[in-house]
Amino acid sequence: MPQTSELRPEADSSGLARYFRVLGDPTRLRLVEALLERERSVGELVGLLGVPQSRVSNHLACLRWCRVAESERHGREVRYRITDPGIGALLQLARALSADKREYLASCGRIGPDWI
């Protein structure tokens, strides 16, 4: 166990925790996975995820603000893509680490009901 003097500053831990919160929302996670495959428009993402356009746009705004995704206008269409392909490796590692714990994670009442 690390000694107190070895702990990271609170701001560092807070920023990292917020990074994981960005990826911790099921809709945002599905958006990230879709954008890791290729860049897409809002309309494509709405059709793929089957959620309302307003929800997709709201989550994309979060991903853009947090610099997980970026957008580029092509005429009347805006295309979104992931800014760092290393996020794919992070998700792959998370899947491997959680593989034998997903049932317990899904039933954990301490994390929150939207975790499932």
- 60: domain CATH number is 1.10.10.10
Is the CB of residue 42 less than 8 Å from the CB of residue 57? yes
Please check whether residue 49 lies inside any domain of the structure: yes
Structure tokens at 50: 């089957």
Structure tokens at 65: 């603000």
Please check whether residue 52 lies inside any domain of the structure: yes
**List of residues 6+ apart from 44 with CB closer than 8 A:** none
Please check whether residue 25 lies inside any domain of the structure: yes
CB count within 10 Å of CB 45 equals 21
Structural domain boundaries, residue 74: 13-84
Is the CB of residue 114 less than 8 Å from the CB of residue 79? no
Considering its fold, how many domains does the chain have in total? 1
Please check whether residue 41 lies inside any domain of the structure: yes
Is the CB of residue 46 less than 8 Å from the CB of residue 65? no
- pLDDT tens-digit readout, 57-72: 999 999 999 999 999 9
From residue 77, alpha-carbon distances to 18, 54, 74, 80 in Å are 30, 16, 5, 10
Average pLDDT over residues 45-57: 97
The pLDDT mean for the chain works out to 87
- pLDDT tens-digit readout, 10-48: 778 888 888 888 998 999 999 999 999 999 999 999 999
